[in-house]
Amino acid sequence: MSTQLRNETLKSLSLPDAFEDLSGIIRTEVKVIVNALSDRAGERLMLSHRQTRDLKRQLYNRLTQSINETMAPLVVERQ
């Protein structure tokens, strides 16, 4: 894992207003997915604690970014 990754902060989930009530549930589910995948990778690939932590951070940020980018166009505008 790169040094830059270790210093990267976690991205926040930013859903359009129409979906804001789902933020807590989605954030929790993303954490469950990230923990399951990184824990399994750590065990099977014998990753160090630091590598596992960096993998968790990278997975969390990429999943969050993907959700944010996919949902952003769904802003509901009242006419």
Q: Distance between CA atoms of 54 and 8, rounded to whole angstroms? A: 9
User: For the segment 36-50, what is each residue's pLDDT rounded down to a tens digit?
Assistant: 999 999 999 999 999
The dihedrals phi and psi of 75, each to the nearest 5 degrees, come to -65, 125
* Element at 58 (helix H, strand E): helix 49-71
Model's pTM, two decimal places?
0.82
Residues 16-25: pLDDT tens digits?
999 999 999 9
Q: Which residues contact 53 (CB under 8 A, 6 or more apart)?
A: 6
